[in-house]
A and B are shown apart, each in its own frame.
Chain A
């Protein structure tokens, strides 16, 4: 039974008009299957839209409703329009009276409020719960072929549910796989334990190898270093002996040569010293004059640079220096400085400051005493302060004056250095001439050269010997073993006796021996690196073993591989269901099905749709479909008749469509109760309506129907007819 009352207050600009149902027949309908007839403009559609909205129809969720898109927009508009306020109260009671749905909306409410009373117990019925227990169908006749296609939405929705269930199951499987991965694995424990034992054996063997290589390396290195030390010491002795002989042969001449060389060197040093002094003093002059910043600064710099750029090596080689040019530069500087010192401002400032300082000294002496200067009112302290300020004003000139005086002094020093340099240069020339005029015989010169070569060789040999000594010391060999030649010899002999196995290596020359030691060292390092790596592996494996042994067993561990396989199966099923969804889309959009898989799928879906529509009228006869092939637009029937879907009338199409909707909960085990509203029902004739009525009666008998309302226009009056 449906009871409803509503009020719509609409702002129509010229007035606020209130609409309420006028006829009491509208407010109460017994049902459960009712045909409602009223003239146009009596508010039939408004009533149906309100009933739909009362059961969340404005949310248009395909899992809770099947509402034609045209009607969906009307319900939304009803709920959302700003120029009117809707309020209503609705009660819907199931035919057996056990279930009552109450829905209401106050004028100030934004949404509907639904409650359910079952066996006298009243509780709220939010949307999530509503859609688990009820299903609302609200339809209007539209293009029949398109309506038939809409049946595929049922398939898509159902497949979507399977996909969701499968997604959860895949997640569950993934969790199980992870748990198994972390659980106790006896096979892995045995395997890791085996690996660990093998690694430890390898390490032991490696340790032995390294120990033997280490011993060999120590012996060979010791022999090599001792031998090197002995051989290079002997070479040093031999070379020293040769030098001694050469010295005995030509000692006097060597002394003479030495004296001459020393004399030339000392003169050379004297020239260098004076030259450097001149450069240093000129640089200082240049710096001081640059601070004064005279107009002629460029000329000053040019003159100074010409002297500073003189090449010492050239002077030493040629024994000459351009003293005339240097003197000209110095004279120029002296003259320029004198001119500036003679400037009035400079002189006056210097004189004034000197005077002021003298007075300050005198005033300072009497400042603390009670005296004053007649005719001057200021105190001595004030006078001192005034004089200080005057001194500060002249400070810049005084500094310039001091710099100029310093420059004059430096010029004087340069002149002295220049004279000394000239003298020393002459002496150097004589010394160099004397040295080159020494008359050595070829034999003497050759001996001298030979001696020099021996000296160089000795240096190299000593370096090598010391290198070997350092190596011996570093390796911890007792010093007595290599400080004395006899001891070295004894140590070498002992090594030869103790280690005949290395005899051939002991006999190698220095280069070959060094190579052998180098290769052996590389080899030992390689073995040690490998040992380090093995130790690391052992540590890791030991840690892994502890983790593995401490893990809890898992009941599916022994099925690990099977579960991996099942997970793959679940993934494949996911891919197949997604493929099925794509095929449904193709069917809906009339795309040509090419693949064998798509064609098979279409065939299955055709049979499925036929199961959803028990019978339908066509040209005065009822037919039972065996396949409804929407892709090829043919309905196959049990009688063998094949009907093209484009030949189906609107009423017939709607009849088929509603039948399929009424059967839609078959895959939900018919758990939900249906609320069915069908507008413009006059498009279906008695025959088209009959299968729907049959299905509704069946549903009513199974307690699946809450209420069914079919609406038709009537030109005379409002009538409500109970169809059962």
Chain B
């Protein structure tokens, strides 16, 4: 799993935009994109947080 400490803060604009979004997954996706995660890491994190037990 990715070390959160190495990841920069969410961008100011992205933070404000997430407030305008209703869907928690959409919010998280924008946050992760703005933080500059790789696609693989974004998917891993979303699956971990929202995928549930499969």
Contacts and interface: CB of A to CB of B under 8 A. Distances in A.
Interface of A: 155, 158-159, 162, 165-166, 168-169, 172-173, 176, 556, 558-559, 562-563, 566, 569-570, 572-573, 576-577, 580, 597, 600-601, 604-605, 607-608, 611, 666-667, 669
What are the 4 closest A-B residue pairs judged by CB atoms, nearest first? A172-B39, A558-B54, A604-B16, A667-B11
Given A159-B13, A176-B43, A573-B21, A165 B26 contact: no
Contacts of A569: 23, 25-26, 29
A169 B42 contact: yes
Nearest to B52: A562
Interface in B15-54: 16-17, 19-21, 23, 25-26, 29-30, 33-34, 39, 42-43, 46-47, 50-52, 54
Contacts of B30: 162, 573
Contact of B47 (A155, A562, A577): A562
Candidate in B8, B14, B51 with the most chain A CB atoms within 10 angstroms? B51
B16 A562 contact: no
A600 B21 CA distance: 10
Nearest to A576: B21
Contacts of A601: 20
Given A169-B42, A562-B54, A600-B20, 20 more contacts: A155-B13, A158-B11, A158-B13, A159-B13, A159-B17, A162-B30, A169-B33, A172-B43, A176-B43, A562-B47, A563-B47, A566-B46, A572-B23, A572-B26, A576-B26, A597-B20, A604-B19, A608-B12, A667-B11, A669-B8
A288 to B, nearest CB: 98
Contacts of A159: 13, 17
Nearest to A606: B16
A608 B50 CA distance: 29
6 contacts: A166-B29, A169-B33, A556-B47, A573-B30, A580-B17, A667-B12
Nearest to A171: B39
Q: Main SS of the interface on chain B? A: helix
A155 B21 CA distance: 17
A604 B17 contact: yes
Contacts, number: 79
Contacts of A158: 11, 13
B52 A162 contact: no
A556 B26 CA distance: 20
A166 B8 contact: no
Contacts of B52: 562
B13 A608 contact: yes
Nearest to B32: A169
A465 B46 CA distance: 84
Contacts of B29: 166, 169, 566, 569-570, 573
Contacts of A172: 39, 43
B25 A566 contact: yes
A608 B16 CA distance: 7
Contacts of B25: 566, 569
Contacts of B51: 559, 562
A196 to B, nearest CB: 27
Nearest to A176: B43
Contacts of B47: 556, 559, 562-563, 566
A601 B16 CA distance: 9
Contacts of B43: 172-173, 176, 556, 563, 566
A162 B42 CA distance: 14
Nearest to A669: B8
B20 A169 contact: no
Contact of B39 (A168, A558, A597, A611): A168
B12 A162 contact: no
Contacts of A608: 12-13, 16
B8 to A, nearest CB: 6
A64 B41 CA distance: 29
Contacts of A572: 23, 26
Contact of A162 (B14, B23, B39): B14
Contacts of A166: 29, 33
B20 A667 contact: no
A396 to B, nearest CB: 99
Given A559-B54, A608-B12, A162 B33 contact: yes
Contact of B20 (A173, A558, A604, A611): A604
Contacts of B16: 604-605, 607-608
Contacts of B34: 162, 667
B22 to A, nearest CB: 9
A155 B16 CA distance: 11
A669 B11 CA distance: 8
B15 to A, nearest CB: 9
A421 B51 CA distance: 111
A569 B43 CA distance: 12
Contacts of B39: 168-169, 172
A392 B31 CA distance: 110
B45 to A, nearest CB: 11
A562 B34 CA distance: 22
A515 B47 CA distance: 67
A569 B42 CA distance: 13
Contacts of B21: 573, 576
Contact of A666 (B12, B33, B42, B46): B12
A301 to B, nearest CB: 97
Contacts of A173: 43
Candidate in B11, B14, B20 with the most chain A CB atoms within 10 angstroms? B20
Contacts of A556: 43, 47
A580 B12 contact: no
A597 B52 CA distance: 31
Contact of B12 (A558, A573, A611): A611
A154 to B, nearest CB: 8
Contacts of A559: 47, 51, 54
A166 B20 CA distance: 17
Contact of A165 (B13, B33, B46): B33
A572 B29 CA distance: 11
Nearest to B30: A573
A666 B50 CA distance: 30
Contacts of B11: 158, 666-667
B19 to A, nearest CB: 6
Contacts of A669: 8
A602 B17 CA distance: 11
B54 A580 contact: no
Nearest to A667: B11
A465 B16 CA distance: 97
A597 B54 CA distance: 36
Contacts of A604: 16-17, 19-20
A224 B26 CA distance: 77
